[in-house]
Amino acid sequence: MRTDWKEAARLFFSDRAEHVVEAPSLEDLCWIAGRDPRLWRDSSLFEEMIESILSQLEVSKAHRLLEVGCAGGFLARGLAPRCREYVGVDVAAPTLEVARRLGLPNATFLCEDATALRLSDASFDRVVSYDVFTNFADFAVAEAVVREIWRVLRPGGRAMVGSIPDVEKTQEAAARAAALGEELTKLYGPLPPARARIVRVPFWRRLGGRVSSRVEPQISCYAFSASQFEKLGAFLGAATRILPIHPRNPYFGCRFNVVYEKPS
């Protein structure tokens, strides 16, 4: 297993975000997050995903909501208007600059390491981290993030770790991904061409030094089992539910949501 996956993922999202210099379009936000923009041309799919998250978390306008791994604000567009205060955190600082240009009036975006949040204990009514744990190559990291989410969650609050690939459905998910790509190409044509990558002079080169290798920006899709999150929830003392993602998601049945509820 690669040991540099954390930095590779951070660079992936950072490099993409640095291409977006104005108020981001939906295609921009998909580009930053590594999503296929052709799928999200159907606005009803986005709305159903947001409604599913809000319903399973039971979010209201009275709640203070934290999103862990917000990237450029793809979900923030739908979540922030539905709560009292929204806070989005991400480890890739350039993505947050894009998110701020969305102009969401009740939203704050902070650069944070999700395994060591600089946020107060019990300060949020609801917490969500959706399509984020796919980037974690090690369940120890996933556990550390859940522990931080649990720490900042208020008594009686709910947290969702969402859209987690089921390790038992890896082959089925791969087949669906291939079929989805073919279907989208028939409907909308091939993916838009990749944007020219920004050429930067690495810091070590500016100093006249040399290194043997450089971490390349890239992401992978890692899978976990529901039982891992259930065991963690039991250890934390959480009421834990394993729930489905919304039915129109192409990976319905191959991914799951975990909802933790903190005792009052």
* Interval 222-244: pLDDT, tens: 999 999 999 999 999 999 999 99
What are the pLDDT digits (tens) for 181-230?
999 999 999 987 765 444 343 433 333 333 334 678 899 999 999 999 99
**Is residue 207 one of the residues assigned to a domain?**
no
**Is residue 227 one of the residues assigned to a domain?**
yes
Range of the domain at 253: 5-191+218-261
Mean pLDDT of the chain: 91
- Res 215: pLDDT: 79
* Number of domains observed in the structure of the chain: 1
Least confident of 14-23, 57-66, 205-214: 205-214
**Is residue 147 one of the residues assigned to a domain?**
yes
Q: What is the pTM of this model?
A: 0.92
Q: Which of 180, 162, 177 is nearest to 255 (CA)?
A: 162
CATH number, domain containing residue 42 = 3.40.50.150
Average pLDDT for 93-119: 97
Chain Cα centroid distance, residue 39? 17
8 A C-beta contact, residue 114 and residue 67: no
For residue 24, what are its two tokens?
A: 């981001």
**Is residue 52 one of the residues assigned to a domain?**
yes
**Is residue 196 one of the residues assigned to a domain?**
no
**Is residue 98 one of the residues assigned to a domain?**
yes
**Is residue 204 one of the residues assigned to a domain?**
no
**Is residue 170 one of the residues assigned to a domain?**
yes
